Amino acid sequence: MKIALFPGSFDPITLGHVDIIQRALPLFDNIIIGIGVNSSKKNLFSVDQRITWIKDTFSSEPKIIVEQYSGLTIDFCEKIKAHYILRGLRSSSDFEYESIIAQNNKLLDKHIETIFLVSSPQYSPINSFIVREIIINKGDISRLVPAVVLNSVKVN
Ligand code: ADP
């Protein structure tokens, strides 16, 4: 079984994340979307809300599982038997940051491979931090997030 972990904060899930997940689906038997819970990081949305949005976005996709975790990503990989970590690359700054994380993970566990997918051109400007700022300031996020997030943010 080829199992990949796609770790992130997904605060909230964006169309950039959805694009990476959909393009990775043919490569793996299962993709576990892992919401990393870090007590020192201030989030806008609760973990439960973020999980619900991801589950609703992929409700018709049985290969996708959503879980939360804390601690080292490679320890969670071992727990869920994932040999692959999936990450998206938007820019050269993502590459610099991500390659260091991937190399450190390799030092910690040589069996884990990090697989990078380059974002589709229309999604590379999207990042969760900017989406949160637009939400807080009541701007238009219709081209940035999946419909479930859009509809639920509109109601609140
Ligand atoms: P962000 O970096 O937007 O705050 P996360 O921390 O949840 O989001 O990131 C999880 C993963 O998703 C990372 O590998 C990140 O590079 C990737 N990612 C986030 N947004 C995009 C995007 N627009 N296109 C491609 N990959 C993305």
pLDDT band at 38 (very low <50, low <70, confident <90, very high): confident
Among the listed residues 41, 42, 138, 154, the single catalytic one is: 41
Nearest CA to ligand 1 atom 10: 8
Nearest CA to ligand 1 atom 15: 88
pLDDT in tens, 116-147: 999 999 999 999 999 999 999 999 999 999 99
Token pair 């692959």 in the structure block, residue: 84
Torsion on CA atoms 135, 141, 145, 147, rounded to nearest 10:
110
Strand, coil or helix: 58: coil
User: What is the model's pTM?
Assistant: 0.95
pLDDT in tens, 44-73: 999 999 999 999 999 999 999 999 999 999
Q: Which of 154, 147, 156, 153 is nearest to 56 (CA)?
A: 147
* Test site for ligand 1: of 15, 54, 128, most ligand atoms within 8 A of the Cβ: 128
